[in-house]
Amino acid sequence: MRKIAAHLFFLLATLCTCALASRGADAADKVTFVTDFGFNGRHAYYFVALDKGYYAKHNLEVTIVRGQGSADAVKQVAAGTAQIGFADTAAVILGRGNDQIPTKLVAVVYARPPHAIYVLKDSGIAGPKDLEGKKIADTAFSAVPKLFDAYAKAAKIDAAKVTWLVASSDTLPGMLTQGRADGIGQFLVGEPLLAKAAAPKQVRALSYADVGLDLYGNGIIASDDLIKSNPDLVRRFVAATMEGLKDAIANPDEAGAIMHKHHREVDADIATAETRIVGTLTGKPLGALDPARVKKSLDIVGAAYSLKHPVAPEDIYAPGFVPN
């Protein structure tokens, strides 16, 4: 009996050891993901992917942290503070062209440019020309002022006649409604929150897309090092995020509720409205980057800025990471 018991104990110990080893081998890859700016309803689909277990299904343990602007997200990803981020295409181009920051787009979410300048409807500003002689406020790291020269060129206005003010994000709506700024930089996806803050006054968007700027907006970015060393991790993150994005577009009410569950400070209705706008900015196939449009985006930004270093399309995007 002792021999049988000892044998059973040995088998049990072996099974437990194997199970633990297997569990260790299958441990989820930890990923820190940084947003372009803060936590807003426009980010709901990442939390949909988290909440519905899409990241877990792809063997990822994802922590979502708030960014301080696209330029900040680019720097964090390059430095390894975050493995993957969400940033504006122009910020990726400028980071590469001026500071040789090694990040690339691996998927696009805003296939249409989301950049806009918001003014009050009763301000007398009805079009781009009316911005000359005016003051516009935005945060230091926002992509809207970074791309303003390209907007001004497309709109045929004098960018030098527009004054940009730097402000914190929470003060921007008040600056607009109180007349301390004639306009503020804002993405189209931020309109529901801005409209609520400005009420009863009404806001008007001067969209960069309306003057013919046809460039990519925000997308998922990764560092050159991660793309080279662990492409499978990047591919799995993109696949899981696209599942969350697809669900959020199909059911923005659910996405808004999920966003509010994870961040109570985000109003569910605002999150729902922002998610609906995200759905109008995406392209088909979802997440896919077209090399010709990448080049066009590069040409637009390159024409508006004197880049210190030459940048080719392959320097700013990496193909093969979006599910077919």
pLDDT tens, 117-151? 999 999 999 999 999 999 999 998 788 998 899 89
Q: In 3-state terms, what secondary structure has residue 275?
A: helix
**Distance from C-alpha of 10 to C-alpha of 23, rounded to nearest angstrom:** 20
CB of 241 within 8 A of CB of 324? no
CB of 41 within 8 A of CB of 275? yes
Angle between helices 252-262 and 268-281 (to 10 degrees): 130
For the segment 267-281, the average pLDDT, to the nearest whole number, is: 97
CB atoms within 10 A of CB 123: 16
The H-or-E segment that residue 195 falls in is helix 191-198
**Distance from C-alpha of 12 to C-alpha of 308, rounded to nearest angstrom:** 65
Q: Is the pLDDT of residue 14 over 60?
A: no
User: Positive or negative, the Cα torsion across 273, 278, 284, 286?
Assistant: negative
Q: CATH topology for 29-112+216-316? A: D-Maltodextrin-Binding Protein; domain 2 (3.40.190)
Map out the domains of the chain as residue ranges: 29-112+216-316, 115-211
| Burial status of residue 224 (CB atoms within 10 A of its CB: 0-12, 13-18, 19 or more) | middle
- pLDDT at position 324, please? 83
Residue with tokens 């999920």: 258
Cis omega before residue 313 (within 30°)?
Answer: no
- pLDDT at position 143, please? 81
Closest CA to 43 of 174, 187, 208: 187
pLDDT tens, 50-77? 999 999 999 999 999 999 889 999 999 9
**Distance from C-alpha of 117 to C-alpha of 126, rounded to nearest angstrom:** 11
pLDDT band at 41 (very low <50, low <70, confident <90, very high): very high
pLDDT tens, 85-105? 999 999 999 999 999 999 999
Closest CA to 166 of 132, 202, 137, 203: 137
Q: In 3-state terms, what secondary structure has residue 210?
A: helix
pLDDT tens, 194-244? 999 999 999 999 999 999 998 999 999 999 999 999 999 999 999 999 999
**How far, in Å, are 50, 64, 126, 224, 272 from residue 33 at the CA level?**
12, 5, 38, 16, 22
Q: CATH topology for 115-211? A: D-Maltodextrin-Binding Protein; domain 2 (3.40.190)
- pLDDT at position 234, please? 98
pLDDT tens, 158-179? 999 999 999 998 899 999 999 9
Q: In 3-state terms, what secondary structure has residue 168?
A: coil
CB of 263 within 8 A of CB of 255? no
Fold agreement between 29-112+216-316 and 115-211: yes
Q: What pTM was estimated for this model as a whole?
A: 0.87
pLDDT tens, 109-118? 999 999 999 9
